[in-house]
Chain A
Protein backbone atom coordinates (compact mmCIF):
# COMPACT_ATOMS: atom_id res chain seq x y z
CA UNK A 1 0.00 0.00 0.00
CA UNK A 2 1.69 3.19 -1.16
CA UNK A 3 1.05 6.74 -0.13
CA UNK A 4 1.84 9.85 -2.18
CA UNK A 5 3.13 13.11 -0.74
CA UNK A 6 3.90 16.48 -2.35
CA UNK A 7 6.21 19.38 -1.57
CA UNK A 8 5.94 23.11 -2.06
CA UNK A 9 8.89 22.77 -4.44
CA UNK A 10 6.54 20.84 -6.77
CA UNK A 11 7.93 17.38 -6.18
CA UNK A 12 6.01 14.22 -5.45
CA UNK A 13 7.05 11.16 -3.40
CA UNK A 14 5.36 7.79 -3.58
CA UNK A 15 6.30 5.88 -0.44
CA UNK A 16 6.07 2.12 -0.13
CA UNK A 17 7.95 -0.08 2.34
CA UNK A 18 10.30 2.68 3.49
CA UNK A 19 11.34 3.56 -0.07
CA UNK A 20 10.22 6.75 -1.81
CA UNK A 21 9.99 7.19 -5.57
CA UNK A 22 10.51 10.89 -6.32
CA UNK A 23 9.61 13.05 -9.31
CA UNK A 24 8.38 16.49 -10.24
CA UNK A 25 4.74 17.40 -10.65
CA UNK A 26 2.86 18.10 -13.84
CA UNK A 27 2.80 21.77 -12.87
CA UNK A 28 6.59 21.81 -12.54
CA UNK A 29 7.24 20.14 -15.90
CA UNK A 30 4.89 22.60 -17.55
CA UNK A 31 6.78 25.52 -16.01
CA UNK A 32 10.14 24.10 -17.11
CA UNK A 33 9.16 23.33 -20.68
CA UNK A 34 10.72 20.70 -22.91
CA UNK A 35 13.49 18.84 -21.05
CA UNK A 36 16.56 17.81 -22.99
CA UNK A 37 18.79 16.39 -20.25
CA UNK A 38 18.44 15.00 -16.73
CA UNK A 39 21.52 14.69 -14.52
CA UNK A 40 20.84 11.83 -12.13
CA UNK A 41 22.69 10.89 -8.92
CA UNK A 42 24.62 7.63 -8.45
CA UNK A 43 22.84 4.79 -6.67
CA UNK A 44 24.17 4.66 -3.12
CA UNK A 45 24.51 8.40 -2.74
CA UNK A 46 23.36 9.79 0.60
CA UNK A 47 21.14 12.83 0.38
CA UNK A 48 20.37 15.22 3.21
CA UNK A 49 17.06 17.00 3.08
CA UNK A 50 17.49 19.99 0.73
CA UNK A 51 20.52 18.60 -1.15
CA UNK A 52 20.47 18.92 -4.91
CA UNK A 53 19.52 15.42 -6.07
CA UNK A 54 18.90 15.98 -9.76
CA UNK A 55 19.46 18.74 -12.29
CA UNK A 56 16.88 18.99 -15.06
CA UNK A 57 17.81 20.93 -18.17
CA UNK A 58 15.33 22.45 -20.56
CA UNK A 59 16.24 23.95 -23.93
CA UNK A 60 17.15 27.21 -22.25
CA UNK A 61 17.90 26.67 -18.55
CA UNK A 62 19.09 24.24 -15.88
CA UNK A 63 17.13 23.79 -12.65
CA UNK A 64 17.80 21.94 -9.40
CA UNK A 65 15.54 19.30 -7.91
CA UNK A 66 16.11 18.96 -4.16
CA UNK A 67 15.88 15.91 -1.95
CA UNK A 68 12.62 16.47 -0.08
CA UNK A 69 13.70 14.17 2.79
CA UNK A 70 16.90 12.49 3.95
CA UNK A 71 17.86 9.09 2.56
CA UNK A 72 20.03 6.96 0.32
CA UNK A 73 19.53 6.70 -3.44
CA UNK A 74 18.66 3.10 -4.32
CA UNK A 75 17.80 3.47 -8.01
CA UNK A 76 17.58 6.11 -10.72
CA UNK A 77 15.38 6.23 -13.80
CA UNK A 78 17.96 5.39 -16.45
CA UNK A 79 15.29 5.62 -19.17
CA UNK A 80 15.68 9.38 -18.85
CA UNK A 81 19.23 9.23 -20.20
CA UNK A 82 17.89 8.41 -23.64
CA UNK A 83 14.49 10.06 -23.32
CA UNK A 84 14.35 13.02 -20.92
CA UNK A 85 11.01 14.06 -22.44
CA UNK A 86 9.38 11.30 -20.33
CA UNK A 87 9.42 13.86 -17.52
CA UNK A 88 7.23 16.12 -19.67
CA UNK A 89 4.91 13.43 -20.98
CA UNK A 90 4.49 11.40 -17.77
CA UNK A 91 5.89 13.40 -14.83
CA UNK A 92 4.04 11.34 -12.23
CA UNK A 93 4.52 8.02 -14.04
CA UNK A 94 7.34 6.86 -16.34
CA UNK A 95 9.09 10.19 -15.83
CA UNK A 96 9.99 9.51 -12.18
CA UNK A 97 13.53 10.62 -11.22
CA UNK A 98 14.99 8.51 -8.41
CA UNK A 99 14.15 6.13 -5.55
CA UNK A 100 15.52 6.57 -2.07
CA UNK A 101 15.51 4.57 1.16
CA UNK A 102 14.15 6.90 3.80
CA UNK A 103 16.40 7.66 6.76
CA UNK A 104 13.58 8.88 8.94
CA UNK A 105 9.96 8.34 7.95
CA UNK A 106 8.84 10.99 10.42
CA UNK A 107 10.16 13.59 7.95
CA UNK A 108 7.19 12.74 5.74
CA UNK A 109 4.88 14.34 8.28
CA UNK A 110 5.80 17.85 7.15
CA UNK A 111 4.85 17.17 3.52
CA UNK A 112 1.60 17.96 1.72
CA UNK A 113 -1.15 15.64 0.58
CA UNK A 114 -2.53 16.02 -2.93
CA UNK A 115 -5.37 18.29 -1.88
CA UNK A 116 -3.10 20.66 0.04
CA UNK A 117 -0.61 20.70 -2.84
CA UNK A 118 -3.29 21.52 -5.41
CA UNK A 119 -4.32 24.48 -3.26
CA UNK A 120 -0.77 25.86 -3.44
CA UNK A 121 -0.87 25.99 -7.24
CA UNK A 122 -4.51 27.01 -7.61
Chain B
Protein backbone atom coordinates (compact mmCIF):
# COMPACT_ATOMS: atom_id res chain seq x y z
CA UNK B 1 0.00 0.00 0.00
CA UNK B 2 1.32 3.43 -0.77
CA UNK B 3 1.69 4.57 2.81
CA UNK B 4 -0.33 7.41 4.16
CA UNK B 5 2.05 10.25 4.89
CA UNK B 6 -0.20 12.81 6.51
CA UNK B 7 -2.01 12.47 9.75
CA UNK B 8 -5.63 12.92 8.91
CA UNK B 9 -8.60 13.18 11.17
CA UNK B 10 -9.89 9.75 10.33
CA UNK B 11 -7.49 6.83 10.22
CA UNK B 12 -7.59 4.70 7.12
CA UNK B 13 -7.41 0.98 7.88
CA UNK B 14 -7.88 1.58 11.57
CA UNK B 15 -11.43 0.34 11.65
CA UNK B 16 -10.44 -2.95 13.31
CA UNK B 17 -9.15 -1.46 16.56
CA UNK B 18 -10.88 -3.40 19.35
CA UNK B 19 -11.26 -0.35 21.58
CA UNK B 20 -13.49 1.48 19.11
CA UNK B 21 -17.15 2.10 19.82
CA UNK B 22 -19.66 0.71 17.34
CA UNK B 23 -22.57 2.47 15.70
CA UNK B 24 -25.98 0.91 16.38
CA UNK B 25 -26.49 0.64 12.59
CA UNK B 26 -23.07 -0.87 11.85
CA UNK B 27 -24.58 -3.99 10.24
CA UNK B 28 -26.44 -1.82 7.72
CA UNK B 29 -23.18 -0.09 6.75
CA UNK B 30 -21.43 -3.45 6.37
CA UNK B 31 -24.30 -4.56 4.18
CA UNK B 32 -23.92 -1.41 2.06
CA UNK B 33 -20.22 -2.22 1.49
CA UNK B 34 -18.75 0.57 3.63
CA UNK B 35 -15.04 0.97 4.17
CA UNK B 36 -14.50 1.75 7.85
CA UNK B 37 -12.01 3.85 9.75
CA UNK B 38 -11.47 5.26 13.22
CA UNK B 39 -12.79 8.71 14.08
CA UNK B 40 -13.12 10.19 17.56
CA UNK B 41 -13.03 6.72 19.12
CA UNK B 42 -15.71 5.26 16.85
CA UNK B 43 -15.61 2.76 14.00
CA UNK B 44 -17.13 4.93 11.27
CA UNK B 45 -18.07 4.33 7.63
CA UNK B 46 -15.60 6.47 5.64
CA UNK B 47 -16.80 5.65 2.15
CA UNK B 48 -19.23 3.37 0.36
CA UNK B 49 -18.54 1.68 -2.99
CA UNK B 50 -19.52 4.82 -4.97
CA UNK B 51 -16.49 6.62 -3.48
CA UNK B 52 -16.03 10.02 -1.87
CA UNK B 53 -16.27 12.04 -5.10
CA UNK B 54 -19.63 10.62 -6.20
CA UNK B 55 -20.96 10.61 -2.63
CA UNK B 56 -20.10 14.28 -2.24
CA UNK B 57 -21.72 15.29 -5.53
CA UNK B 58 -24.78 13.13 -4.89
CA UNK B 59 -25.40 14.97 -1.62
CA UNK B 60 -25.32 18.35 -3.36
CA UNK B 61 -27.55 17.12 -6.19
CA UNK B 62 -30.03 14.79 -4.48
CA UNK B 63 -29.96 13.50 -0.90
CA UNK B 64 -27.17 12.03 1.22
CA UNK B 65 -27.88 9.94 4.32
CA UNK B 66 -25.25 10.15 7.06
CA UNK B 67 -25.06 8.06 10.21
CA UNK B 68 -23.80 10.51 12.82
CA UNK B 69 -24.83 8.48 15.85
CA UNK B 70 -21.32 8.99 17.23
CA UNK B 71 -22.41 12.51 18.17
CA UNK B 72 -23.78 12.95 21.68
CA UNK B 73 -27.14 14.38 22.69
CA UNK B 74 -27.71 15.84 26.13
CA UNK B 75 -31.12 16.72 27.55
CA UNK B 76 -31.06 19.82 29.76
CA UNK B 77 -34.19 20.24 31.88
CA UNK B 78 -35.34 22.23 34.89
CA UNK B 79 -36.36 25.69 35.97
CA UNK B 80 -32.73 26.79 35.80
CA UNK B 81 -32.08 25.32 32.34
CA UNK B 82 -32.06 28.63 30.45
CA UNK B 83 -29.92 30.35 33.08
CA UNK B 84 -27.50 27.40 33.09
CA UNK B 85 -27.15 27.39 29.29
CA UNK B 86 -26.60 31.17 29.24
CA UNK B 87 -23.77 30.67 31.72
CA UNK B 88 -22.10 27.65 30.12
CA UNK B 89 -22.47 29.01 26.53
CA UNK B 90 -22.31 32.56 25.10
CA UNK B 91 -26.02 32.32 24.51
CA UNK B 92 -29.26 34.09 25.44
CA UNK B 93 -31.14 30.85 26.10
CA UNK B 94 -34.14 32.63 27.63
CA UNK B 95 -34.63 34.50 24.35
CA UNK B 96 -34.45 31.32 22.28
CA UNK B 97 -37.96 30.50 21.08
CA UNK B 98 -39.43 27.04 21.50
CA UNK B 99 -38.50 24.88 18.53
CA UNK B 100 -35.52 27.11 17.66
CA UNK B 101 -31.94 25.87 17.33
CA UNK B 102 -28.77 27.91 17.78
CA UNK B 103 -25.15 27.20 16.90
CA UNK B 104 -23.06 28.02 19.97
CA UNK B 105 -19.84 27.19 21.79
CA UNK B 106 -18.58 25.80 25.06
CA UNK B 107 -15.86 28.17 26.24
CA UNK B 108 -13.35 27.87 29.04
CA UNK B 109 -12.32 30.77 31.29
CA UNK B 110 -9.76 31.88 28.68
CA UNK B 111 -12.46 31.89 25.98
CA UNK B 112 -10.82 28.80 24.51
CA UNK B 113 -13.29 26.68 22.54
CA UNK B 114 -13.97 23.39 24.35
CA UNK B 115 -16.52 22.38 21.70
CA UNK B 116 -19.03 23.75 19.24
CA UNK B 117 -22.65 22.72 19.74
CA UNK B 118 -26.21 23.09 18.58
CA UNK B 119 -28.63 24.00 21.37
CA UNK B 120 -32.37 23.62 20.71
CA UNK B 121 -35.22 24.73 22.94
CA UNK B 122 -37.96 22.09 23.09
CA UNK B 123 -40.13 23.54 25.85
CA UNK B 124 -40.28 26.28 28.50
CA UNK B 125 -37.62 24.55 30.62
CA UNK B 126 -36.42 21.85 28.22
CA UNK B 127 -33.43 22.02 25.87
CA UNK B 128 -31.32 19.55 23.93
CA UNK B 129 -27.61 19.86 23.09
CA UNK B 130 -25.90 18.09 20.18
CA UNK B 131 -22.16 17.78 20.86
CA UNK B 132 -19.18 16.39 18.97
CA UNK B 133 -18.25 12.75 19.55
CA UNK B 134 -14.60 13.39 20.30
CA UNK B 135 -15.46 15.91 23.00
CA UNK B 136 -18.49 14.20 24.54
CA UNK B 137 -16.76 13.09 27.74
CA UNK B 138 -14.98 16.42 28.24
CA UNK B 139 -18.21 18.31 27.48
CA UNK B 140 -20.22 16.22 29.92
CA UNK B 141 -17.72 16.74 32.74
CA UNK B 142 -17.69 20.49 32.08
CA UNK B 143 -21.49 20.73 31.80
CA UNK B 144 -22.00 18.76 35.02
CA UNK B 145 -19.52 20.89 36.93
CA UNK B 146 -21.16 24.16 35.85
CA UNK B 147 -24.67 22.66 36.39
CA UNK B 148 -23.96 22.21 40.11
CA UNK B 149 -24.90 25.85 40.70
CA UNK B 150 -28.24 25.61 38.87
CA UNK B 151 -31.64 23.95 39.20
CA UNK B 152 -31.08 21.74 36.18
CA UNK B 153 -30.91 18.07 35.25
CA UNK B 154 -28.48 16.91 32.61
CA UNK B 155 -28.92 13.57 30.87
CA UNK B 156 -26.76 12.00 28.17
CA UNK B 157 -29.29 10.53 25.73
CA UNK B 158 -28.95 7.17 24.00
CA UNK B 159 -30.03 7.99 20.46
CA UNK B 160 -29.23 7.12 16.89
CA UNK B 161 -28.63 10.30 14.90
CA UNK B 162 -29.16 10.46 11.14
CA UNK B 163 -28.64 13.40 8.81
CA UNK B 164 -30.38 13.59 5.45
CA UNK B 165 -28.84 16.39 3.40
CA UNK B 166 -29.44 17.76 -0.06
CA UNK B 167 -32.17 19.32 -2.21
CA UNK B 168 -34.35 16.18 -2.21
CA UNK B 169 -34.12 15.65 1.57
CA UNK B 170 -37.50 17.13 2.45
CA UNK B 171 -39.30 15.15 -0.24
CA UNK B 172 -37.54 11.87 0.60
CA UNK B 173 -38.59 12.23 4.25
CA UNK B 174 -42.20 12.94 3.30
CA UNK B 175 -42.18 9.71 1.28
CA UNK B 176 -40.63 7.94 4.27
CA UNK B 177 -43.59 9.02 6.38
CA UNK B 178 -41.87 11.89 8.16
CA UNK B 179 -43.23 15.23 7.00
CA UNK B 180 -40.91 17.97 8.24
CA UNK B 181 -41.76 20.43 5.47
CA UNK B 182 -43.02 23.04 7.98
CA UNK B 183 -39.54 23.40 9.48
CA UNK B 184 -37.22 26.19 8.34
CA UNK B 185 -33.45 26.32 8.82
CA UNK B 186 -32.50 25.94 12.49
CA UNK B 187 -35.93 25.00 13.77
CA UNK B 188 -36.89 21.68 15.32
CA UNK B 189 -39.75 19.47 16.46
CA UNK B 190 -40.29 16.23 18.36
CA UNK B 191 -42.24 14.28 15.72
CA UNK B 192 -42.63 11.12 17.83
CA UNK B 193 -41.98 10.00 21.40
CA UNK B 194 -38.21 10.02 21.97
CA UNK B 195 -37.54 11.62 18.56
CA UNK B 196 -36.07 15.00 17.78
CA UNK B 197 -35.73 16.45 14.27
CA UNK B 198 -34.11 19.72 13.19
CA UNK B 199 -33.68 21.40 9.82
CA UNK B 200 -29.90 21.69 10.08
CA UNK B 201 -26.73 19.98 8.97
CA UNK B 202 -23.05 20.08 8.21
CA UNK B 203 -22.92 20.21 4.42
CA UNK B 204 -24.16 23.68 3.45
CA UNK B 205 -27.22 22.07 1.87
CA UNK B 206 -30.82 22.08 2.99
CA UNK B 207 -31.46 19.05 5.15
CA UNK B 208 -32.41 17.50 8.44
CA UNK B 209 -30.85 15.88 11.47
CA UNK B 210 -33.04 13.29 13.16
CA UNK B 211 -32.37 11.77 16.57
CA UNK B 212 -34.39 8.71 17.46
CA UNK B 213 -34.25 5.63 19.69
CA UNK B 214 -31.63 3.24 18.21
CA UNK B 215 -34.16 0.41 17.78
CA UNK B 216 -36.39 2.66 15.66
CA UNK B 217 -33.54 3.72 13.35
CA UNK B 218 -33.30 0.71 10.97
CA UNK B 219 -36.91 1.13 9.88
CA UNK B 220 -36.48 4.84 9.12
CA UNK B 221 -33.25 4.11 7.22
CA UNK B 222 -34.99 1.46 5.12
CA UNK B 223 -37.81 3.85 4.31
CA UNK B 224 -35.39 6.62 3.36
CA UNK B 225 -33.22 4.35 1.21
CA UNK B 226 -36.28 2.93 -0.55
CA UNK B 227 -36.24 6.27 -2.37
CA UNK B 228 -33.48 6.01 -4.96
CA UNK B 229 -32.64 9.69 -4.56
CA UNK B 230 -31.21 8.89 -1.10
CA UNK B 231 -27.82 7.18 -0.72
CA UNK B 232 -25.54 6.42 2.23
CA UNK B 233 -22.69 8.94 2.43
CA UNK B 234 -19.51 8.34 4.43
CA UNK B 235 -17.41 10.46 6.73
CA UNK B 236 -14.90 11.31 3.98
CA UNK B 237 -17.55 13.15 1.96
CA UNK B 238 -18.98 14.66 5.13
CA UNK B 239 -15.56 16.26 5.62
CA UNK B 240 -15.20 17.57 2.05
CA UNK B 241 -18.80 18.87 2.11
CA UNK B 242 -18.37 20.78 5.35
CA UNK B 243 -15.02 22.19 4.24
CA UNK B 244 -16.50 23.54 0.99
CA UNK B 245 -19.31 24.98 3.11
CA UNK B 246 -16.72 26.74 5.29
CA UNK B 247 -17.86 24.94 8.44
CA UNK B 248 -15.40 24.25 11.25
CA UNK B 249 -14.35 20.87 12.58
CA UNK B 250 -13.54 21.02 16.28
CA UNK B 251 -10.15 19.43 16.95
CA UNK B 252 -8.84 20.87 13.68
CA UNK B 253 -10.18 24.36 13.06
CA UNK B 254 -11.28 25.02 16.62
CA UNK B 255 -9.69 24.05 19.92
CA UNK B 256 -9.12 25.29 23.44
CA UNK B 257 -6.19 27.22 21.94
CA UNK B 258 -8.51 29.24 19.69
CA UNK B 259 -11.11 31.80 20.73
CA UNK B 260 -14.35 32.87 19.01
CA UNK B 261 -12.91 36.18 17.75
CA UNK B 262 -9.83 34.61 16.11
CA UNK B 263 -11.99 31.75 14.80
CA UNK B 264 -14.29 34.28 13.07
CA UNK B 265 -17.26 32.93 15.00
CA UNK B 266 -18.43 36.11 16.72
CA UNK B 267 -21.57 35.92 14.55
CA UNK B 268 -22.58 32.96 16.75
CA UNK B 269 -22.61 35.19 19.87
CA UNK B 270 -25.53 37.65 19.94
CA UNK B 271 -24.50 41.28 20.38
CA UNK B 272 -26.35 41.70 23.67
CA UNK B 273 -24.65 38.58 25.05
CA UNK B 274 -21.24 39.95 24.04
CA UNK B 275 -22.02 43.25 25.75
CA UNK B 276 -23.66 41.88 28.89
CA UNK B 277 -21.14 39.08 29.49
CA UNK B 278 -22.27 36.58 32.08
CA UNK B 279 -21.04 33.50 30.22
CA UNK B 280 -17.89 31.60 31.07
CA UNK B 281 -15.03 33.18 29.14
CA UNK B 282 -16.78 36.56 28.74
CA UNK B 283 -14.02 38.57 30.43
CA UNK B 284 -11.28 36.83 28.45
CA UNK B 285 -13.17 37.33 25.19
CA UNK B 286 -13.73 41.02 25.95
CA UNK B 287 -10.00 41.39 26.65
CA UNK B 288 -9.04 39.59 23.42
CA UNK B 289 -11.35 41.87 21.44
CA UNK B 290 -10.08 45.01 23.17
CA UNK B 291 -6.44 44.04 22.53
CA UNK B 292 -7.22 43.01 18.95
CA UNK B 293 -6.88 39.48 17.63
CA UNK B 294 -3.44 38.35 16.44
CA UNK B 295 -4.62 35.81 13.92
CA UNK B 296 -7.81 34.98 12.13
CA UNK B 297 -9.41 31.92 10.56
CA UNK B 298 -9.75 32.32 6.80
CA UNK B 299 -10.60 30.30 3.72
CA UNK B 300 -7.67 29.42 1.45
CA UNK B 301 -7.78 28.53 -2.23
CA UNK B 302 -4.59 26.82 -3.43
CA UNK B 303 -3.63 27.40 -7.06
CA UNK B 304 -3.60 24.40 -9.34
CA UNK B 305 -4.78 20.95 -8.32
CA UNK B 306 -2.48 19.97 -5.49
CA UNK B 307 -4.29 19.83 -2.14
CA UNK B 308 -2.81 21.55 0.89
CA UNK B 309 -3.40 19.58 4.07
CA UNK B 310 -3.95 20.26 7.73
CA UNK B 311 -0.66 21.08 9.48
CA UNK B 312 1.03 22.82 6.55
CA UNK B 313 2.87 26.02 7.47
CA UNK B 314 1.66 29.20 5.73
CA UNK B 315 4.30 31.75 4.70
CA UNK B 316 4.11 35.20 3.14
CA UNK B 317 5.91 36.34 -0.02
CA UNK B 318 9.13 36.80 1.97
CA UNK B 319 9.00 33.26 3.30
CA UNK B 320 8.09 34.32 6.82
CA UNK B 321 5.81 31.90 8.67
CA UNK B 322 2.51 33.68 9.31
CA UNK B 323 0.05 30.87 9.90
CA UNK B 324 -1.00 27.26 9.55
CA UNK B 325 -3.52 25.23 7.61
CA UNK B 326 -6.09 23.55 9.89
CA UNK B 327 -8.24 21.76 7.29
CA UNK B 328 -7.47 21.07 3.67
CA UNK B 329 -8.44 18.77 0.88
CA UNK B 330 -10.09 18.71 -2.50
CA UNK B 331 -13.52 20.19 -3.13
CA UNK B 332 -15.38 17.87 -5.54
CA UNK B 333 -18.11 20.47 -6.26
CA UNK B 334 -15.79 23.43 -6.82
CA UNK B 335 -13.28 21.14 -8.58
CA UNK B 336 -10.25 22.66 -6.93
CA UNK B 337 -8.40 22.25 -3.64
CA UNK B 338 -9.95 23.99 -0.64
CA UNK B 339 -8.51 24.75 2.77
CA UNK B 340 -8.90 26.86 5.84
CA UNK B 341 -6.43 27.98 8.43
CA UNK B 342 -5.24 30.70 10.73
CA UNK B 343 -3.12 33.59 9.46
CA UNK B 344 -1.77 36.75 11.08
CA UNK B 345 -4.43 39.44 10.95
CA UNK B 346 -2.47 41.62 8.50
CA UNK B 347 -2.70 38.78 5.95
CA UNK B 348 -6.37 37.87 6.47
CA UNK B 349 -7.87 40.05 3.73
CA UNK B 350 -9.58 38.13 0.91
CA UNK B 351 -7.32 38.01 -2.14
CA UNK B 352 -4.05 38.11 -0.18
CA UNK B 353 -1.45 35.92 -1.86
CA UNK B 354 0.15 33.44 0.55
CA UNK B 355 2.05 30.17 0.22
CA UNK B 356 1.78 26.78 1.90
CA UNK B 357 4.88 24.71 2.46
CA UNK B 358 4.26 21.21 1.19
CA UNK B 359 7.04 18.63 0.94
CA UNK B 360 9.74 21.25 0.56
CA UNK B 361 8.02 23.32 -2.10
CA UNK B 362 5.69 26.31 -1.90
CA UNK B 363 2.15 26.21 -3.19
CA UNK B 364 0.61 29.59 -3.96
CA UNK B 365 -2.81 30.20 -2.48
CA UNK B 366 -5.14 33.11 -1.97
CA UNK B 367 -7.18 34.03 1.06
CA UNK B 368 -10.70 33.20 -0.13
CA UNK B 369 -14.11 34.13 1.29
CA UNK B 370 -16.00 31.32 3.00
CA UNK B 371 -18.00 29.37 2.05
CA UNK B 372 -16.54 28.02 -1.20
CA UNK B 373 -19.98 26.75 -2.21
CA UNK B 374 -23.13 28.80 -1.50
CA UNK B 375 -25.27 27.68 1.41
CA UNK B 376 -28.64 26.37 0.26
CA UNK B 377 -30.47 26.63 3.55
CA UNK B 378 -34.28 26.82 3.66
CA UNK B 379 -34.67 30.12 5.44
CA UNK B 380 -38.09 31.07 6.75
Q: How many residues of B contact A (CB 8 A)?
A: 28
The answer to whether residues A59 and B52 also contact, given A31-B12, A36-B305, A84-B305 and a CB cut-off of 8 A, is yes
Among B3, B10, B51, B239, contact of A64 (Cβ-Cβ < 8 Å): B3
Which of A50-58, A99-107, A111-119 is found at the contact surface with chain B?
A50-58
A120 to B15, CA, bound (A): 20
A112 to B128, CA, bound (A): 57
On chain A, the residues within 8 Å of B330 by CB distance are 36-37, 57-59
| Structural contact, A9 and B8, CB atoms closer than 8 A | no
A59 to B47, CA, bound (A): 11
| Structural contact, B2 and A36, CB atoms closer than 8 A | no
Question: Of residues 318 to 367 in B, which have CB atoms within 8 Å of A's CB atoms?
Answer: 329-330, 332, 337, 359
A36 to B306, CA, bound (A): 8
CB proximity of B286 to chain A, nearest CB, Å: 38
Q: A10 within 8 Å of B by Cβ?
A: yes
| Structural contact, A62 and B307, CB atoms closer than 8 A | yes
Work out how many contacts link A and B, with CB atoms closer than 8 A: 79
Q: B4 within 8 Å of A by Cβ?
A: yes
A32 to B4, CA, bound (A): 9
A28 to B12, CA, bound (A): 13
Q: A63 within 8 Å of B by Cβ?
A: yes
| Structural contact, B2 and A56, CB atoms closer than 8 A | yes
| Structural contact, A60 and B51, CB atoms closer than 8 A | no
Q: A65 within 8 Å of B by Cβ?
A: yes
A65 to B52, CA, bound (A): 21
Q: B236 within 8 Å of A by Cβ?
A: yes
Kindly name the residue among A33, A60, A62 whose own CB sees the greatest number of chain B CB atoms within 10 A: A60
**Whose C-beta in chain B lies nearest to the C-beta of A121?**
B1
CB proximity of B342 to chain A, nearest CB, Å: 21
On chain A, the residues within 8 Å of B4 by CB distance are 61-63
The 7 closest A-B pairs by CB, nearest first: A63-B2, A36-B330, A34-B53, A65-B2, A59-B52, A37-B306, A59-B330
